[in-house]
Amino acid sequence: MRLPGQILTHSIEINKENISYNIRYSKKARYLRIQISNQNELELIIPKRCKLSDAESFLISKSDWVKKHLRAGIIKKEKFLYLGKDISVRQEYTLFLKKHSVRFNNNELEISSPSGSQLNLKEIFDIWLRQQAKNYLKKRVEELSARYHFHVNKVSIRGQKTRWGSCSSKRNLSFNFKLMQFKKEVIDYVIVHELCHLREMNHSKKFWSNVEIYCPDYKLLRKELKDSANI
């Protein structure tokens, strides 16, 4: 009896070479899929009502792709910072996939990439991190500006090389998406810092006094931000 999600290990001969692979039956799959995990394991995903013999024939028909990608090696699992904590990021390649698929689950970022993709783990992680920043930072600015009675015109998310945030005379705030690698308290400090510039467009004593009102631990958080040159 086939069980959805069940993984079985088989082997098959391709061009006189015996290759092991995992079989996984899936109710959600609409078509046969082949993918290679970050452990360099070959997996054959079989949809409902598909015969194993047909699936293995399909696998054999893709033998050139299988041998090429198994031998090329897979990007190893790496760790990156997200909201101040280490998360695991792993990548697998899937035949016939047209675009990257990213899922964050149980403190792990799982990336499925199209065969032949030139984007590496760090590049895909940054794309994902930028999207998280657009959602999180804009919402947090809205929350803090409402709480402390600041009026913000527009919030932008960018990838500045030398700044974590900025404030313009038009009341527009800009933040570096890499802020998402810090813990939430540090992120709040940077947001408060830029909000205070809406009242004091300088770094005078009055400015820092305002920052301290809304963020009493700003000196410690500021130091943590400065000590992170590797991010």
What angle (nearest 5°) sits at the alpha carbon of residue 149, between those of residues 145 and 153? 55
Indicate if 149 and 108 belong to the same structural domain. Answer: no
Indicate if 119 and 176 belong to the same structural domain. Answer: no
Band of residue 2 on the pLDDT scale cut at 50, 70, 90: very low
Cα dihedral 15/17/18/23 (nearest 10): -50
Counting beta carbons within 10 angstroms of the beta carbon of residue 110, is it exposed (0 to 12), middle (13 to 18) or buried (19 or more)?
Answer: middle
Q: Over the chain, what is the mean pLDDT?
A: 86
More confident call, 8 vs 61: 61
pLDDT for the residue 114: 79
**Residue 231 placed within a domain:** no
Last residue of a domain, one of 29, 47, 72: 72
Indicate if 95 and 61 belong to the same structural domain. Answer: no
**Residue 17 placed within a domain:** yes
More confident call, 99 vs 87: 87
For residue 81, pLDDT over 60 is answered with: yes
Last residue of a domain, one of 72, 87, 114: 72
Indicate if 100 and 26 belong to the same structural domain. Answer: no
pLDDT tens column, 37-52:
656 678 888 888 888 8
pLDDT for the residue 63: 80
Tokens of 69: 């990608």
The residue with tokens 């697998």 is: 92
pLDDT tens column, 122-174:
899 999 999 999 999 999 999 999 999 999 999 999 998 889 999 999 999 99
**Residue 49 placed within a domain:** yes
Indicate if 101 and 133 belong to the same structural domain. Answer: no
Distance (Å, whole) CA 42 – CA 23: 9
Cβ neighbours of 136 (radius 10 Å): 17
From start to end of 70-152, where are the E strands?
A: 78-82, 85-94, 101-105, 108-114
Indicate if 171 and 198 belong to the same structural domain. Answer: yes
**Residue 2 placed within a domain:** no
Return the CATH number at 207: 3.30.2010.10
More confident call, 176 vs 49: 176
Please tell me the total count of domains within the chain. Answer: 3
Give residue 106's domain range. Answer: 78-125
Band of residue 55 on the pLDDT scale cut at 50, 70, 90: confident
pLDDT for the residue 50: 85
For residue 70, pLDDT over 70 is answered with: no
More confident call, 231 vs 44: 44
Contact by Cβ (8 Å): 21, 12? yes
Indicate if 213 and 138 belong to the same structural domain. Answer: yes
**Residue 216 placed within a domain:** yes
**Residue 65 placed within a domain:** yes
Indicate if 91 and 18 belong to the same structural domain. Answer: no
Tokens of 211: 């920052």
pTM: 0.70
